[in-house]
Structure 1
Amino acid sequence: MADLLGDQASGLRRLFGQERVRIVTFTAASAGVGRSVVVANLAAALARQGKDVLIIDENADARIAALFGCVARHDLAEVIDRKLRLGDVLMPLATGVRLLPAARAVQGLAKLGAAKRDALLDDIAAMDRPADVILVDASSAHPLGFSPLALAADETVMVVAPTSSAITGTYSLIKKVSMGFAHRRFRLLINKARGIDEAEAIHANIAHVTFSRGVAQTDYAGYVPLDEHLCQAERRCQPVPTLFPDAPSAIAFRQLAGELLHWPAPAGDTGGFEHFVQQLIHLSQRIDRCVIHTR
C-alpha cells in the first residue's frame, strides 16, 4: 500500500510538473486584523522571488482582488455547477500571482454530490500550470466556526493584531479547534505590531498559555510592522512590495516569504493540491458545527 501511495504521489508530481505544492492557510479569530492584506502582500513578495502563487479566497467581499486593483466576477462554484471552466474563473492579479475566488464554492461543499465532486477533482488535476505556493485566505465568519480550509492545509497561520480582544480570541479559537479536531500545531503572525519586542511578547504569551495547558504548539511566523506605506499602497490598490519595496512592511513580507519557503514539509507525501481539495471536501461534509461552537 505504501508503494502504491508513493507511486500515486509521484504521478501527481509529474502531472503538476514539479515537486509538491506548498499550501498555507491564513485565518484569524475575527475580522479586522488585516488577514487579507497579509495574504495579498505576501503573494506579491513571493512572486518577486520568482515563485508562482495561487491565492484561494474564501471571503465574499472579494478583498484580495481589490487589493490588486481588480474585480472578481466569478467563483469556483460556477465550475462545480459546470457553468464555467476552471480557466475562466482563475484570475491573473499580477505577474506570478493568480486568484481563485471560492467563497460560494466552499460554502456549498458540505452538500456536494459524488458526480460534482469527481468533476471538480478532474478539473483540478487538469490544471495547465501549477503554483509553487498556494495561499488561502480563510474566512473568519465561516458558519462552522472554523474554516475547513485551515484544517486541510499544510500549515495554519493565525494572524493576530496587538489588541487584547484579538489575543484573547486567538487563544480561544486555538483551544476550540485543538479540542474539537486534535489540530495542535499553528503558526502565529503578529500584524500591525509596533516593533519586534511587542510581536515576540504577544507570541510568547500565547505560546506559554497554549503549551502549559496542553492545548497546542504555536510557532512564531514573524510580524508585520505598523507602517503607513502599507496603508498608502492599499489606497492605491497595489501591494507594498511593488510600490514601496524599501518600506518596513515590504521588508517584513520579503522575510516572511523567504522563511515560508523553508518551513519543513508535513510528514509523508500527501500529493499536493489534489489531496488538499479531497481533504477539504471530506472535512466540509463531516465537520459537526457543535464541536466548535459549544466548546
Structure 2
Amino acid sequence: MAEHIHDQADGLRRLLMQDFVRVVTVTSGGAAAGKTTTVIGLAVALARDGKKVLVIDENVGARNICATLGLNAHRDLLDVIRRDKALDAVIVTAREGIRVLPAGRGMRVLEKLGADDKTHLIDAFAGIDPSVDVVLIDAAPGSDSRALPLALPSHEIVMVLPPEPASITAAYALIKHISSHHESKRRYHVLFNKTELEADARKIFENMESAAKRYLSVTLHLLGFVPYDGKHCLGRGLAEVHPNSPSAGVFRLAAESLAHWPCQDGEGPGLERFMQCLLQGNQGGRQNAIAARSQRV
C-alpha cells in the first residue's frame, strides 16, 4: 500500500515537472533475444501516444536500430565528442518522428573523457531541439555493454528474454552480475519476447521472481508477453507495420506502464540531467572496478 502511494506521488510530481525526461535502458542476457525490435516497438507505441522519443543505440553493425530500420547513419556520438559534428547532425529521424542517436563508438570512450569533453557533451544534450519526453537506451547484450553500467544508478532497466532455457539462464546471470556490483539496483522489469504459450512464460517468470527475491534480494516486475510473430522477428517492429496486432497491443500497455514508474536520479527536467548522471555513473563504475580488482589481489 505504501509503495502504491509512493508511486502515485512520483507520478504527480512528474505531471507538475516541466520537461521531465523518462529514461529506460533495455538490455538482454545475450544476442537474438529481440531486444532491438522491442526498443522499436516501445518507441513506436510511445510516439503514437504523443511522446517525443530519443533512442540511444549502443549496438554497431547490421543488428543496430538504424540498420534494422533502413536508416542511413554515417556518424556516431564519437563525432560529437570529437567536435566533428553537432549532436543534431548525428541524430537520424525514423517514422513516427522517432529520433535515433548511434552511440556504439562514443560509449566506448566515455570513461576516458576529460572535464572539457564532459562539459561539451552535457551542453550538447542540453541544447537538443525539440525537447524529449522519453529516452530509450538500446544497450549491447549482456555484460559487454558499456552503457549498462553507466545507466544503472539512475535509470530503469527492462530485461528482454525469450522463454528459452539459454536465454533465461543468461538473463538471470546478468541480473546477478548487476546486483552484485551495484547494490542500489534492486528493481528490474521483465518483458518476455517470442512467446508461444503465455502460461508457460508466466510460470517461468514466477520461478525467476522467486529465485531473484530469495537469492539476489531483488524485485522483478512483469512488463508483458510479446507473442511470437515471424514479421516481428524480421526486425522492422510489428507495431510499425500492424498497429492492431497483439504484439503492438503489448507494447502499448508496456509504454503506458513505464509512464507510472517512480522517478530515478537520472530523470528530471532536460537531457543535461541525463548526461550528467551517465557521466557520473561512468566515474562510479570505474571506482567499483578498481575496488573489485583490489579485493581479488
What TM-score, normalized by structure 1, do the two folds share? 0.85
What is the CA distance between 1:168 and its match in structure 2? Answer: 1.3
Whichever residue aligns with residue 188 of structure 1, its letter is V
Structure 1 CA distance, aligned partners of 2:75 and 2:267? Answer: 32
CA contact (8 A) 1:140 1:146 kept: no
Match of 2:283 among 262, 282, 285: 285
What residue is the counterpart of 2:212 in the other structure?
A: 210
> CA 1:143/1:110 → structure 2, altered by over 3 Å: closer, same or farther?
farther
2:279 is equivalent to residue 275 of structure 1: no
2:24 is equivalent to residue 24 of structure 1: yes
Q: Deviations over 1:111-170 (max 9, x none)?
A: 001111111111111112111111110112554787224414431011111111111111
CA contact (8 A) 2:266 2:273 kept: no
What residue is the counterpart of 1:10 in the other structure?
A: none
Between stretches 218-227 and 271-280, larger displacement belongs to 271-280
Q: Deviations over 1:219-275 (max 9, x none)?
A: 11112110123135x3xxx43223112222122212222222222333797545322
What residue is the counterpart of 1:6 in the other structure?
A: none
Q: Deviations over 1:17-66 (max 9, x none)?
A: 93311110001111110100100121111111111111000011262112
2:254 is equivalent to residue 256 of structure 1: yes
What TM-score, normalized by structure 2, do the two folds share? 0.84
2:41 is equivalent to residue 41 of structure 1: yes
What residue is the counterpart of 1:109 in the other structure?
A: 110
Between stretches 86-95 and 134-143, larger displacement belongs to 134-143
> CA 1:152/1:60 → structure 2, altered by over 3 Å: closer, same or farther?
farther
CA contact (8 A) 1:158 1:170 kept: yes
CA contact (8 A) 1:189 1:221 kept: yes
What residue is the counterpart of 1:96 in the other structure?
A: 97
What residue is the counterpart of 1:5 in the other structure?
A: none
Unaligned segments of structure 1, at least 5 residues: 1-12
Unaligned segments of structure 2, at least 5 residues: 1-13
- Moved runs in structure 1, 4+ residues, more than 3 A? 141-146, 266-272, 288-292
What residue is the counterpart of 2:68 in the other structure?
A: 67
What is the CA distance between 1:280 and its match in structure 2? Answer: 1.5
> CA 1:152/1:101 → structure 2, altered by over 3 Å: closer, same or farther?
farther
Matched residue pairs, number?
275
Whichever residue aligns with residue 227 of structure 2, its letter is P
Structure 2 CA distance, aligned partners of 1:269 and 1:161? Answer: 29
